[in-house]
Amino acid sequence: MQELWKLVESPRHLLVFEAAARHGSFTRAARELNVQQPAVSAAIKQLEDALGARLFHRAHRSVTLTSTGERLYTDVFGAFARILDSVRSLAARSAGDRVTLTASTAFAHYWMVPRLAEFHATHPDVDLRLQTSDREPDIDAEGISLAIRRGNGNWPGCQSHLIAAEVITPIASPRVMAAAINLRSIGNLGSQPLIHLEEPVRDRPTWADFFRHWRVPYAEPRGGLRLNDYALVLQATMAGEGFTLGWRHTTTGLVQQGLLAERADWAWETGAGFYLVWSTSTPLSRQAQATRDWLIGQAVGVAG
């Protein structure tokens, strides 16, 4: 290793060389390494001087490897690939007991949290980290084990399993529901105070979509309470602020506890669902597999 250090002057030069050769561009290599392009050029020049050989043919907007550069790149790429495999294996082993599950605030609070005691009793060796997010994070880029997503079950680079079909019903506090004596038809629902969910990133059905499904005329009101997080929407609904759309997989427990009431006869099955998602390219640890299987077991028989 001491001889290698003397020959290349700095192992960093090999990292820069590999990036430049892979991209065929000093500029793109600089962007990947988060340095300026002249720093890449200087590192390559120093490596060439140290080896006494030209590694790149330089053009105006691109670079190509010389025959000497191609030979070096083959060996450097293979060595780095083996090192990366070893580092990934060690990192996975050290973090093997930690499993991250990312979901919306409402799903985490109203679906997952009530089940945590049972999960920990079943899997006391698993360190489950429950993370909430207002977006759909890249599970590979952010090192996430498992995620909950709304959709049709198809996401590039991911496997999925249905946790709950999307079933939406109008809900309100029992007091507000009882006071709405004129709800003989869905059309009359539009005259009630409505609470609106306005997600900043995620695509979610709205009141307009609900009335459109039932083919009922609906004019978007100027007023009405508008909130950007569904957990806040549910809190406002339980506080008696009006009616809102209830995603049944998160509201069933609240209805059973008497905190909410629903119009089950106006249930809308949208065709979408909430899925447990994991990467196809990053193998799950033993603990993550156990968590995945347990969550799938919780979904058995759950249709909404």
Confirm if 218 and 207 have CB atoms less than 8 A apart. yes
Confirm if 296 and 208 have CB atoms less than 8 A apart. no
Model's pTM, two decimal places?
0.67
For the chain, which residues make up each domain, given as ranges? 2-94, 97-304
CB atoms within 10 A of CB 181: 7
Estimate to the nearest angstrom the gap between the alpha carbon of 291 and the chain centroid: 17
Task: Tell me which fold the domain 2-94 belongs to.
Answer: Arc Repressor Mutant, subunit A (1.10.10)
Confirm if 194 and 243 have CB atoms less than 8 A apart. yes
pLDDT per position as a tens digit, 89-146? 556 555 556 899 999 999 999 999 999 999 999 999 899 999 988 778 888 888 889 9
Alpha carbons within 13 angstroms on the beta-carbon side of residue 91 total 10
Cα distance between residue 168 and residue 304, in whole Å:
8
pLDDT per position as a tens digit, 233-265? 999 999 999 999 999 999 999 999 999 999 999
Q: Domain 97-304 classified CATH 2.60.40.640? A: no
